[in-house]
Structure 1
Amino acid sequence: MSLRAYLLSVADAQSIEELWDAHVAKMAEFGFDRLLYGFTRYRTATSLGDPEDFIILTNHSRSYTDVFLDEGHYFHAPMVHWALHNEGAKSWKLLSEMEQTKTLTAAERRVLEFNREMGVTAGYSISFKSISARSKGAIALTARSDLSQDDIDAVWHDHGADITLMNNIVHLKILTLPYSAPKRALTARQREVLEWVGDGKTTQDIALLMGLTTATVEKHLRLAREALAVETTAQAVLKAAFANQMFVLDA
């Protein structure tokens, strides 16, 4: 796919799935056959927030993600630590340098050993610029198993600027598309009542506008809070807005 065709597919993508498929195919052209993208809006000084609120996109195998993500290995991954404190692109050559200088913790060494077992040995990480202290996004680009770090560094020397630009564009596009983590999706009714709340309507107003009883409106609001795992309706409106689940134009 030409760069122009790729960028047009990114611009025209109407879903994260469509966008991700195009990006995976484009990165494979440069030797990166496995990608792992992550984004959170709920970072604190001591936590990345609830993992169920992360936007996670990957084409890694389940055998990899079941351990790296579900068992929390990502929290001790050296390149994740790098991404949290830096912006831009970084070669995984950093990992061998950390080994040589013996600066890896025991938990970090376990992550490296697991990655080697799974063929995740060479690649690059890109940490995206954040405008909020609570948000952070990054992507790990894993090279094909037949490529060494030196091989992929040579690819990066020739194409790194373009690869970085494409990943930044995809990251910005992802933030405009609706996304719902498992157990976080809203029903059409829940979304509609939250939209009316976002417009400043009271429960009585919403009941009149939707032709429902106030008790039914309150039920939809309660279920929306439960679906989004928040305590207040204001928090539900905020989280739904962050996930682009409100005021969505149907295709």
Structure 2
Amino acid sequence: MPSKPEVEGPALSAHLAALASAQDIDQLWRAHCDRMALYGFERLLCAFTRLTRAEIERGARGWVMLSTVPHGRAEPSDTFNDGLSDGRPGPRSWSLSRPGHHGDSHAGYTIFFRNAVSRVTGAIDLVARPGMSQRDVDRLWDLQGQEIAALNDVFHLKLMSLPCGPYRLTDRQREMLCHVADGHTTREIADLLGLTEATIEKHLRLAREALDARNTPQAVLHASLYNQIYMPKS
């Protein structure tokens, strides 16, 4: 049996430390992409949502997408799209069937993340560098697939802990939602902050609009799902 090749670059322990210490999504994504490139996967596309299908169909902006190419040119593999529908976790290999898809690259793997809660759906496309055939990629996966899959799982777990999402809240809107999440009424929040109830409701209304929420409890839910509350002030 062929021996496992050595991957040049930072030691695995140093890379894991870099993932664990990442303070934002950009820092995490750069570290992960750099590591995957060492294995031969030069183009990555990751997408996930914490909203239900019904919420997205009602127009909520629930998907978060990360890509190594401009988003206008980022197109997931057929395996990526099909796998999000069937919900089975784990890696799957694929080769391209459409000319020009992912530029010159034509082989790769898609990993569908395993999640402990039903509200999280996500996957990542790992696209091999040009010149690698699917046989080359499958051979690489036989030797190092377990390590690659584990690193992607660690990346995903860290990603789930960071503020993210298509939503942008002001510090004041975030503050109001924190008070609501703590169980305070509009009147109690007004008394705590020395503001009028009308002012509190105005900020909550703007927060609902920013979070595509139909009511304040749903606004708190969306903000919590994407780690948008209990954050340090910007």
Q: TM-score, length-normalised on structure 2?
A: 0.87
Q: 1:43 to 1:14 in 2, by over 3 A?
A: same
Structure 2 contact 93–138 (Cα < 8 Å) conserved: yes
Deviation at 1:82, TM superposition (A): 2.4
Is residue 87 from structure 1 mapped to residue 89 from structure 2 by the alignment? yes
Structure 2 contact 43–128 (Cα < 8 Å) conserved: yes
Q: 1:61 to 1:129 in 2, by over 3 A?
A: same
Match of residue 200 from structure 1: 183
Moved over 6 A (4+): 45-49
Match of residue 30 from structure 2: 21
Match of residue 16 from structure 2: 7
Match of residue 230 from structure 1: 213
Deviation at 1:137, TM superposition (A): 1.1
Deviations 1:30-85 (A, max 9, x none): 000111111112233897885732121111234522xx3xxxxx5x9343212432
In structure 2, which of residues 126, 135, 154 is the aligned counterpart of residue 141 of structure 1?
A: 126
Match of residue 157 from structure 2: 172
Match of residue 154 from structure 1: 139
Structure 1 contact 123–149 (Cα < 8 Å) conserved: yes
Structure 1 contact 44–134 (Cα < 8 Å) conserved: no
The secondary structure found in structure 1 opposite 2:169 is coil
In structure 2, which of residues 109, 131, 155 is the aligned counterpart of residue 124 of structure 1?
A: 109
Structure 1 contact 15–178 (Cα < 8 Å) conserved: yes
Kindly provide the amino acid, as one letter, of the partner of residue 246 in structure 1. Answer: I
Q: 1:15 to 1:144 in 2, by over 3 A?
A: same
Alignment partners' CA distance in 2, 1:54 and 1:148: 31
Alignment partners' CA distance in 1, 2:60 and 2:180: 27
Structure 2: any 5+ residue segments left out of the alignment?
1-9
The count of aligned residue pairs is: 224
Kindly provide the amino acid, as one letter, of the partner of residue 23 in structure 1. Answer: H
Alignment partners' CA distance in 1, 2:112 and 2:197: 46
Kindly provide the amino acid, as one letter, of the partner of residue 88 in structure 1. Answer: G
Match of residue 215 from structure 1: 198
Q: TM-score, length-normalised on structure 1?
A: 0.82
Is residue 61 from structure 1 mapped to residue 67 from structure 2 by the alignment? no
Structure 1 contact 42–48 (Cα < 8 Å) conserved: no
Kindly provide the amino acid, as one letter, of the partner of residue 82 in structure 2. Answer: H
The root-mean-square deviation of aligned C-alpha atoms, in Å, is 2.3
Kindly provide the amino acid, as one letter, of the partner of residue 129 in structure 2. Answer: R
Structure 1: any 5+ residue segments left out of the alignment?
69-73, 96-108
Kindly provide the amino acid, as one letter, of the partner of residue 191 in structure 1. Answer: R
Q: 1:41 to 1:226 in 2, by over 3 A?
A: same
Bigger shift: 188-197 or 144-153? 144-153
Deviations 1:99-147 (A, max 9, x none): xxxxxxxxxx6xx34516x224110000011333332111000011121
More helix by share: 1
